[in-house]
Amino acid sequence: MTYLLAVLHKNGRDGFLSSLGVVILFPMICLALEHFWQIHLPSPADMYPFGMSELMSHPELASTLPPFWPLVGWSLAALACPFIAQLVLERAEVQ
């Protein structure tokens, strides 16, 4: 995601700051939407059916596997970012 945003911004520092903003703000936005309007957006936290407090009190939960479909979806999203960035970069070089 950092590489994709750096290519889109045409600046590495701005791409890094944008990806940092996404990593920090996206979970906050998801939690706010869930709390105030009961709207659930998919997030990487969906891969684990428990929170950190449950993990600390029950360490045996660390060995449980995450649900399959959120794991597949977020893996595909992570794999798509470099490919999209490469397409954008090639298109920018041609023009």
Please give the pLDDT value at position 69: 80
Structure-model confidence comparison of residues 67 and 24, the more confident one: 24
> What does the pLDDT average to over 33-51?
82
Q: Phi and psi of 90, rounded to 5°?
A: -65, -40
The answer to whether 75 touches 47, Cβ cutoff 8 Å, is no
What are the CA-CA distances from residue 32 to residues 40, 45, 79 (Å)?
10, 14, 28
Is the pTM for the entire model greater than 0.75? Answer: no
pLDDT(24) > 70: yes
Residue 49 has pLDDT above 70, yes or no: no
10 contact partners, CB below 8 Å, separation of at least 6 = 92
Range list of H helices, 38-67:
52-57
pLDDT of residue 81: 94
What ranges do the domains of the chain cover?
2-94
pLDDT the model gives residue 52: 63
